[in-house]
Amino acid sequence: MKKSLKIKFKIQKIMYLKQMVYFAKFPSQQLYYKKLLKNEINKLKNLTNNRDGEKVNSNNQREFTIEELAQYDGSNGKPAYVGINGIVYDLSNEITWGGGTHFGLYSGKDLTNEFMQCHGKEEILNNLPKIGVLKK
Ligand code: HEM
């Protein structure tokens, strides 16, 4: 199905679910439709952000295998992603990670041990964009 059509149907479904939330008689009903609405909005975001086809888990988090993460090593203008404690962070805009490297380290890997040895401070991670999770 053409993408524009997919998006059109998604928007129609969102409009319908908004109505159902609005006209719901019972709180349980409203909660049910709100959950459906949230899922549809996330799917629309994925469609419009060209994320359709990317693997996402049941929490709608983008999932990376170690092999997929290795593609994002920051070289040749590619994004620089790093896995820490099962979460994938985007370091592409991090000054200290120019070109995807950082004090001898390369992005596109799980660097949990290195992070714990060198920093181990959650604050640093709290400031970084989380873009997905590492597939277990
Ligand atoms: C070999 C291990 C590591 C060493 C020796 C190291 C060293 C450093 C140093 C010296 C700085 C300060 C740079 C400056 O302010 O100019 C820094 C900043 C930073 N490091 Fe590392 N690092 C290591 C591993 C990691 C890992 C694995 C991550 C992955 C997330 C990371 C993320 C960062 C970030 C985001 C900053 C900037 C922090 C800020 O702006 O406050 N580092 N690192």
Q: Mind listing the pLDDT tens digit for each residue in 6-15?
A: 788 888 888 9
Whether pLDDT at 54 is above 60? no
Q: Which residue has the tokens 């049910």?
A: 32
- Residue 64 CA to ligand 1 center (angstroms) comes to 23
Query: Which residue lies with its CA nearest to atom 35 of ligand 1?
Result: 124
In the predicted model, what is the mean pLDDT of the chain? Answer: 84
**Model pLDDT, residue 60:** 63
Q: How confident is the model at residue 55 (pLDDT cuts 50, 70, 90)?
A: low
Instruction: Indicate if ligand 1 lies below 6 Å from the C-beta of 31.
Output: no
**62-134 falls under which CATH superfamily?**
Cytochrome b5-like heme/steroid binding domain (3.10.120.10)
For the stretch 65-85, pLDDT in tens is: 999 999 999 888 788 999 999
Q: How confident is the model at residue 101 (pLDDT cuts 50, 70, 90)?
A: very high
The domain spans of the chain are 3-49, 62-134
Element at 81 (helix H, strand E): strand 81-84
CA geometry: angle 80, 42, 32, nearest 5 deg: 145
Model pTM score: 0.68
- Residue 129 CA to ligand 1 center (angstroms) comes to 15
Q: How confident is the model at residue 107 (pLDDT cuts 50, 70, 90)?
A: very high
Question: Higher confidence at residue 47 or residue 35?
Answer: 35
- Residue 54 CA to ligand 1 center (angstroms) comes to 29
Q: Hey, which of 87, 103, 131 would you mutate to test ligand 1's pocket, going by the most ligand atoms within 8 Å of its Cβ?
A: 103
Strand 109-110 and strand 130-134: the pairing is unpaired
**Model pLDDT, residue 86:** 93
Whether pLDDT at 125 is above 60? yes
Say if CB 3 and CB 53 are below 8 A apart. Answer: no
